[in-house]
Amino acid sequence: MTDEQKTREQLLTELAQLRQRIEESEAAETAARDARQYAENIVETVREPLVVLDADLRVISANPSFYRTFQVRSEESEGRLIYDLGNRQWDIPALRELLEEIIPQNTTFEDYEVEHDFASIGQKAMLLNARRIYVEASKTQMILLAIEDITERKRAREALAQEILDISTPVIQVWEGVVVAPLIGTLDSQRTERFMERLLERIVETRSRVALVDITGVATIDTQTAQHLIDTVTAVRLLGAQVMLTGVSPAIAVTLVHLGIDLSGLITRASLMAGLRLTMELLGLQMVTKNENVTSGSS
């Protein structure tokens, strides 16, 4: 009886322990499921296309953003080599280099820029971030590849640069036969070329005999820029007009002399005002202070 009772008690405690263990493992399982769901939700929510590859570079999974951006379906992607996706459009030499050479050596890689013309979605500029992950349980490697589509951003940046190029070289007619071209910032060959074109066109349009090129807004000048300016002056002379370089600051004057740039064939002035005054003189114009009223009032 006592034995039986003892066994019963033992069984009851074991049962309680078992129940507790089941509860614990269920809780653990829920926690694991929650964690996975949490991770999956993050991946799904991330706006950047993400793709997970196994060690052989086959697609394990990818997020909706990836499928949407690159117009491939999950069922035709999973388990396949990344290079084979979407009619082999991912077979990009730069990507091969990244996945096969850089990643095995470095574990992670950030902001690797790739440009590729996709058959389905056209020209894309992408920044690739990749990370090698070691999975303890299965003792395998995985590669997480995040793709940032920077096509729009790049296009916007280029458009902005173009805009700056366009607006930064205004040629203003300030008087009959006088144009002023203020230069701002640094002058590279491309900008100078555009500037030269605009200046020449405006001179012809306005029939201007004098063009004032004002470099007050130019911080520094180098040999190449000076050469561009000299070329511009030469071209303007061919049209039958004169160029005056105004706004030569002390710093620029020092630089020009130290660089040994000879601008002796060019009329230069320290300020736009001095340049305008000289222009008036060249054109036989005179500016007189209108003080007749003052004199007539006092007399």
Partner 1 sequence: MAAEGISVVKVREILLVTVPPDPDDATVSLLQEQVLKAMARYEAKGLILDISMVQTVDSFFPRTIAETAQMVTLMGGRTVVAGMGAGVAITTTELGLTLGGALTALDVDHALDMTDGLTPWEQSP
Residues in the site for partner 1, rule: CB under 8 A? 196-197, 200-201, 203-204, 207-209, 231-232, 234-241
Of 23 and 231, nearer to partner 1 (C-beta) is 231
Minimum CB–partner distance for residue 178 and partner 1 (Å)? 12
Of 167 and 238, nearer to partner 1 (C-beta) is 238
In contact, 136 and 104? CB cutoff 8 Å: no
Of 93 and 265, nearer to partner 1 (C-beta) is 265
d(CA 27, CA 24): 5
Minimum CB–partner distance for residue 163 and partner 1 (Å)? 23
Minimum CB–partner distance for residue 236 and partner 1 (Å)? 7
d(CA 197, CA 247): 21
Of 144 and 174, nearer to partner 1 (C-beta) is 174
Minimum CB–partner distance for residue 231 and partner 1 (Å)? 5
d(CA 45, CA 65): 8
d(CA 280, CA 220): 29
176 CB burial (10 A radius; 0-12, 13-18, 19+): exposed
Alpha helix positions (H), the chain:
2-45, 64-70, 85-88, 93-97, 103-106, 151-167, 189-206, 223-239, 250-258, 272-282, 292-298
Question: Which candidate, 218, 214, 219, places its Cα nearest to that of 271?
Answer: 214
Of 27 and 204, nearer to partner 1 (C-beta) is 204
Which are the contacts of 137, defined by CB distance < 8 A and separation ≥ 6? none
Of 1 and 238, nearer to partner 1 (C-beta) is 238
Q: Please give the backbone phi and psi of residue 156, each rounded to the nearest 5 degrees, phi first.
A: -65, -40
